[in-house]
Amino acid sequence: METSDKTARQIYQELKANPSRARFGFGEKAILVNVDPQKAYTRTDLFKTAYETDPRQMEYTDTLAKKFRSLGWPVVWTHVAYMASGEDCGVWGTRTDTPDSLQNIKFGSERTEFDDRLDIDRERDVIYCKKMPSAFFETQLQSLCVWHKVDTVVITGGSTSGCIRATAVDSLSRGYRTIVPEECVSDKHESYHFANLTDLAIKYADVLEVQEVFDWLDSRKA
């Protein structure tokens, strides 16, 4: 095993400056999957479970959604919410049982609500309640991808080390070109965040600056 005294941020920045892998690249049509941008994870002023990496994340995510809609491409939002009993969280919810615990993100609670800064079109966009890390796991996301004949999945949200990573791995495993806009994902600690951006970039996805994704979407209008 290689060892290093560098921080996770430094390792990521070095990889970004000198990529070690060819890109998967954009395909012909994409779906935007916004993973759990709900108050439990975005409102740092309200909940201890929330986190912020780039302060403009919600703005960038909204811009992506608008560009996708303008192309007639699908926009998906996921959130987690559980029954009063917590049984639908399964073994994932057994490690802690505090007001901040995962299984205590209950249906109807403020923690389940999407961030107020987001402009969600509740008539056109697709909303899934998921129970596990990946947005693909036991949701209709795969069927939606097939219906829309997409070949590319753009993923935003959090956390980079958890639900973003799980969704990206599942996306690649299903044969999709997978794009993670760097400014549109976040995590609780920079070490987890940058270590997983590095791993995603090497193995599972193209980790790009969000402006490059904007530019590609704009080019599709031509």
What does each of the 222 residues of the chain score in pLDDT, given as a tens digit? 999 999 999 999 999 999 999 999 999 999 999 999 999 999 999 999 999 999 999 999 999 999 999 999 999 999 999 999 999 999 999 999 999 999 999 999 999 999 999 999 999 999 999 999 999 999 999 999 999 999 999 999 999 999 999 999 999 999 999 999 999 999 999 999 999 999 999 999 999 999 999 999 999 986
Find, among 12, 20, 51, 54, the residue nearest to 195 by Cα: 12
Task: Give how many domains the chain has, as a whole number.
Answer: 1
CB 67 within 8 A of CB 218: yes
pTM, two decimal places = 0.97
**Is 163 part of the annotated catalytic residue set?**
yes
Q: Is residue 179, in this structure, part of any structural domain at all?
A: no
Q: Is residue 39, in this structure, part of any structural domain at all?
A: yes
Annotated catalytic residue: which of 89, 129, 145, 163? 163
What is the C-alpha separation between 111 and 77, in angstroms, rounded? 15
CATH number at 169 reads: 3.40.50.850
Q: Is residue 85, in this structure, part of any structural domain at all?
A: yes
Identify whether 159 is preceded by a cis peptide bond (ω within 30 of 0).
yes
In eight-state DSSP terms, residue 103 is G
What is the C-alpha separation between 127 and 143, in angstroms, rounded? 14
Distances (CA, A) of 27 to 31, 42, 60, 88, 153: 11, 30, 21, 36, 9
Q: Is residue 15, in this structure, part of any structural domain at all?
A: no
Find, among 165, 162, 160, 163, the residue nearest to 184 by Cα: 160
Q: 108: domain range?
A: 31-174+187-219
Q: Is residue 6, in this structure, part of any structural domain at all?
A: no
Q: Is residue 20, in this structure, part of any structural domain at all?
A: no
> Which two three-digit tokens encode residue 122?
């509740």
